[in-house]
Amino acid sequence: MSVIGKSLNKLFVSAKILGDEQLRIGEDVIYVLETSRSEHTALLVLSLKEQGVVASRRDLLSVDKKTARAMQFRLESLIEKLEFKGEDADIKIVPVTIYHGHFPGRSSSWWRVVFSERWGPKGWWGRLLQLMVSGRQTLLQLDQPFSLRALMNDSNSQLAGVTAASVVNVLEEHFVQRRRATFGPDLSNRKQLLEAIIDQDDVQREIQLHSEQQQQSFEKSEKYARHQINAIAANVSPSFIRMLSSALGWFFSRIYRSVKVKGVDKIRVLAKDYQTVFVPCHRSHMDYVLMSWMLHNQGLMIPHIVAGDNLNAPVLGRFLKFGGAVFMRRSFYEDPLYSLLFKNYIKHLHVNGHALEYFIEGGRSRTGRLLPPKSGMLSITLEAAQQQSIKPIALVPVWISYDKLVESRTYAEQLANQKKTPESLLGLVQSLKMFKGQFGDAVVSFADPILLADNVTKFDNIKAKSIFLARQIMERISGACYVNESALLATVLLSQRRLRMSRVQLIESVNSLTSLLVKMPNAPAGIAMGSVGKWIDDACDREQLSVTNDDVYLTPEQACEMTYYRNQIHHLTLLVGLFLLVSKRYHKPLSQTVPKLIKAVYPYLARELYWPWQGAEVNKALKNIRDLLVDQQLIIEEEKCLHVRNTALSVSLMQTVEPFLLRYYVVFRLLQEFADLSIDDLIDESVRLSGLLHQEFGFHSPEYTDSKGLAEFIKAMQDQDMLCLSADGQVFASVDATSLMIRSRQILLPHYLSLVDKSIRRH
């Protein structure tokens, strides 16, 4: 092994290793590097040695042209040996890529020519400069191994030499695809790209129409088009990304205890053959920064991120464009020219295989619950999937959550009807004071991808398909949920009428809740592990709760903030809480009766909470929940009747679900009382009554009267044909809700219902 290679690594290289489990897979394995650079071979040898593996030089190969003959001869020898062994014998081939400074390429950048791993520096001086500049950002990636036996079987030739050449071709193509997945396509000259979009025939025709409609010259409309496409398009800067990556690594290490990443290995494998379109939930402005930094650290292409043009503020917008931001108006269908320019730019990104990211909910959730999906961007992606692209498209739903949200108190103020502050660079600088102290863990959890080649054909109705897939994306985001420690603490504490518990009881209840959630039929993809006592101390340090003597409690301000974290896991807690509540309150809770009562409200809850079960699956899920509650000793089954045990956990779950259900009762009660309400009147009255309940009984939830949540519930009833609109815009129930209201009165507490009824009669 080259002494120079070892010395260069020692002086300049600090490597992040991905796929390090491939360093420990035992015997009958060879490692194949993309290049024959001595410092790369030395780095691989050192990494193997740290795992206790001493590698023979014969087992370290490369597809580099300089060593092509040695690679060919070694493979021929291995193939001949396997031919004489049994079918069970095999040799694993592990591809190894090593990148120094894995940043996107830009054809006009001198930086790329001299230092970028993408082109590969020429000569010893270029390699030395590259290590000096980018050696501390080295990525050593080991991919899933190939089976030499399988490659032999796939070869059409019985000749070892021909088969070996075929294996080399497979490995060379693998390295090409891996580079593409890491760096992305070349960033074409931005000015030329934007001019090419302006010159497209359909854009030129739309410019002419715009000119006629606005009664202005063609040149003026074309200037308008150029201004708009320039405002839309990203202006990715490799040097800016390189600088920002290091700064963000330092920043995140200061504010977060750790950044947990779940399920990324399957995405790394996927990215080699698919264009990845990331569709995360949206909780914070930190989301897109965290996603880009994390994807870069995981050896994946930095995505172009579709963001609202409210972020395209002076100076701030320019920096965001350097990082890959693509700006979009909130609404633009009244401007056909802008709409066409935006769609054509996005389709260019799709056709050329750029990774893309957009938030399926549109805006940030102020309540913690997932918002209804917006299908506009998804429709553009589906249209691109119907066209010819470099790669097929894969949608990747992503769950993002935080132990403490940077904007949590701001959200509480906005829900209390305070105005949202416009984004600006000054606002960003002023917000830095919020980053004092620790924010716990941040979590990025990847769901199973949706492959559009399997879901979209050229004959599909794009609008209908996008609505269907948007729902599927939300269900998968929900399924990728990671339950963090703040959500567990908030769920238990907020259910207490005095917002106070003994430390011992809180620890016991949180442990019981954790044990229950991991066994749910829709169990989370991950859940916080560790000492609940330590979580309490950490949350106290983050000012999310308070501790005195042996008690833990929430102040009113803390209670409002903690509802955000509780709401994140409503899709896990509300169905089990509903099962307990019905079993507790119904006069004769038979095993077969409780599911029937729950199914009366299930369609509305399922729509809002993205529960995955339909039809017969609902019965199966409810049976699993009943069995789980019996197993956890929260319910006792005697003579076919279900009896709820009054444990701290069962009370917490029931009190979590009841305020949620009251919103539903309010809407049905208004429909029952009034026959001349418009949709807006129904929403306004529902908000008013919910506010009274909130004020009277202290649910400590600023989102309890959120008009968006109530509007979504009402829309769900319309979609389910429970509500109809008359010709003059009045809303009425299209089904008889009498039995539903009777059941509600049997389950919900009388003093809640009495307040609603009295307020309706007085109003």
pLDDT by residue (tens digit) across 109-141?
444 434 445 445 555 555 666 666 666 678 888
* SS3 at position 523: coil
Q: What is the mean pLDDT of residues 647-668?
A: 87
Closest to 743 measured CA to CA, from 550, 560, 598, 540: 598
Match 């050593």 to its residue by tokens. 140
CA distance 567 to 574: 10
Range list of β-strands (E), 288-341: 304-308, 325-328
This prediction's pTM: 0.84
- 495-545 pLDDT tens trace: 888 899 999 999 999 999 999 999 999 999 999 999 999 999 999 999 999
Mean pLDDT of the chain: 85
pLDDT surpassing 70 at residue 106: no
CA dihedral 741, 745, 749, 752 (to 10 degrees): 50
| Residue 446 near residue 481 (C-beta atoms within 8 A) | no
Write the CB contacts of 5 (distance below 8 Å, at least 6 apart in sequence). 37, 38, 39, 40, 41, 42, 43
pLDDT digits over 243-284, tens only?
788 888 889 988 999 999 999 999 999 998 899 999 999 999
Amino acid at 275: Q
Q: Could you give the CA distance from residue 316 to residue 425 in angstroms, rounded to a whole number?
A: 5
What's the confidence (pLDDT) of residue 176? 87
pLDDT of 694 above 80? no
What type of residue is 716? A
The more confidently predicted of residues 420 and 373 is: 373
Contact assessment for residue 60 and residue 44, using Cβ atoms and an 8 Å cutoff = yes
The pLDDT score that the predictor gives to residue 731 is 86
In the block, residue with structure tokens 């935006």: 342
pLDDT tens digits for range 663-688: 878 888 888 888 788 888 888 888 88
List, in order of start, the domains of the chain with CATH numbers. 3-183 (no CATH), 236-479 (3.40.1130.10), 482-568 (1.10.10), 572-762 (no CATH)
List all residues 6 or more positions away from 681 whose beta carbon is below 8 Å from its beta carbon.
none
pLDDT interval class at 624 (50, 70, 90): very high
Check residue 403 and give its pLDDT.
Answer: 96
- pLDDT value for 114: 44
pLDDT of the residue at 110: 43
**pLDDT recorded at residue 112:** 43
Cα gap 715→679, rounded to integer Å: 9
For residue range 708-750, list pLDDT tens digits in order.
667 766 776 776 667 888 888 888 877 777 766 777 788 888 8
Q: What's the confidence (pLDDT) of residue 340?
A: 94
pLDDT at 108: 44
pLDDT, position 107: 43
- Across the strands, what pairs with 306? 326
For the segment 206-217, the average pLDDT, to the nearest whole number, is 94
Predicted local distance difference test score (pLDDT) of residue 7: 62
Rounded Cα distance between 239 and 101, Å, is: 10
* Mean pLDDT of all residues in 81-107: 78
